[in-house]
């Protein structure tokens, strides 16, 4: 059974989440504060974590940082914080997804299944496909129709970061740091320019991308 750790300080919501997950044959651990969550995760590492940010002892971001110090377990944030800055902070800290309260149970369950699928896929997969193109992470090439697609070094690095995080939302500040270094976190126009160039080269319809997706105000996501 898939072991899910729910970290939530609201008793009624914690109980409702646990009931719904157990009904779907998940093995559930619960914690009402951050320190208990970290202790439980250390004793019995979960397969997935559902995490509230507004905890009574330590902030949820600190819990993410604590988990990411030793684990790549999928973390789905479930929070009443709807501010863009809070979402970006959680994603940059290492959360895999962010769901705002109030939420629909069916949507949350779908996001949990997606996070688990990504976690169980082969992270070392050397090649992925984008429509009719093949991205080879080993040789750092993109091919399609028997020809190599020419990418600039920056285009390739942007594509590589997104592909290595398939299905995950990669925040704008993280992308800017990885591509251009510290001090560029606010230069979001750079990303728009290079993403537009990648879409023109790889998307069948750049105006309606299917693989290189934008999460407005937050970042970008690659979906195969």
Residue 99: strand, helix, or coil: strand
pLDDT digits (tens, 9 = 90+) for 125-167: 567 888 889 988 777 889 988 889 999 888 998 998 898 888 8
Q: Domain span at residue 143?
A: 127-222
Taking a C-beta distance cutoff of 8 angstroms, is the pair 219, 174 a contact?
yes
Average pLDDT, the chain: 89
**Do both 88 and 175 map to the same domain?**
no
Burial-class residue 144 by CB neighbours within 10 Å (0-12, 13-18, 19+): middle
* Nearest by Cα to 51 from 96, 118, 3: 96
Largest CA distance in the chain: 58
Taking a C-beta distance cutoff of 8 angstroms, is the pair 179, 158 a contact?
yes
Mean pLDDT of 44-60: 94
Rounded distance between C-alpha atoms, residue 135 and residue 149, angstroms = 10
Domain closes at, from 120, 155, 182: 120
With cut-offs at 50, 70 and 90, classify the pLDDT of residue 121.
low
**Do both 91 and 177 map to the same domain?**
no
Domain closes at, from 120, 142, 162: 120
Rounded distance between C-alpha atoms, residue 148 and residue 223, angstroms = 21
User: Is the confidence at residue 50, as pLDDT, over 50?
Assistant: yes
Q: Who's near 20: CB < 8 A, 6+ residues apart?
A: 105, 109
- Give backbone dihedrals phi and psi of 43, rounded to 5 degrees, phi first: -75, -40
**Do both 104 and 26 map to the same domain?**
yes
User: Is the confidence at residue 122, as pLDDT, over 60?
Assistant: no
**Do both 159 and 116 map to the same domain?**
no
**Do both 69 and 175 map to the same domain?**
no
User: Is the confidence at residue 57, as pLDDT, over 90?
Assistant: yes
**Do both 109 and 214 map to the same domain?**
no
Number of domains in the chain: 2
């Amino acid at each position: 059974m898939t072991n899910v750790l729910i970290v939530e300080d609201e008793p009624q919501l914690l109980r409702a989440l646990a009931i719904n997950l157990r009904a779907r044959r998940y093995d559930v651990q619960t914690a009402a504060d951050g320190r208990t969550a970290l202790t439980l995760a250390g004793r019995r590492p979960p397969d997935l974590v559902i995490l509230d940010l507004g905890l009574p002892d330590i902030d949820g971001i600190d819990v993410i940082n604590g988990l990411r110090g030793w684990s790549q377990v999928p973390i789905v944030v479930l929070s009443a914080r709807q501010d863009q800055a809070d979402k970006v902070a959680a994603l940059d800290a290492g959360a895999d997804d962010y769901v705002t309260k109030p939420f629909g149970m069916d949507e949350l369950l779908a996001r949990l299944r997606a996070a688990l699928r990504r976690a169980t896929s082969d992270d070392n997969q050397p090649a992925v496909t984008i429509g009719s193109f093949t991205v080879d992470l080993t040789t750092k090439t993109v091919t399609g129709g028997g020809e190599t697609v020419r990418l600039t070094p920056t285009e390739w690095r942007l594509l590589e970061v997104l592909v290595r995080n398939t299905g995950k939302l990669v925040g704008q500040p993280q992308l800017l740091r990885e591509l251009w270094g510290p001090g560029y976190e606010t230069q979001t126009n750079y990303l728009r320019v290079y993403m537009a160039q990648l879409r023109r080269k790889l998307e069948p319809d750049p105006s309606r991308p299917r693989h290189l997706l934008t999460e407005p105000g937050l970042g970008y996501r690659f979906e195969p």
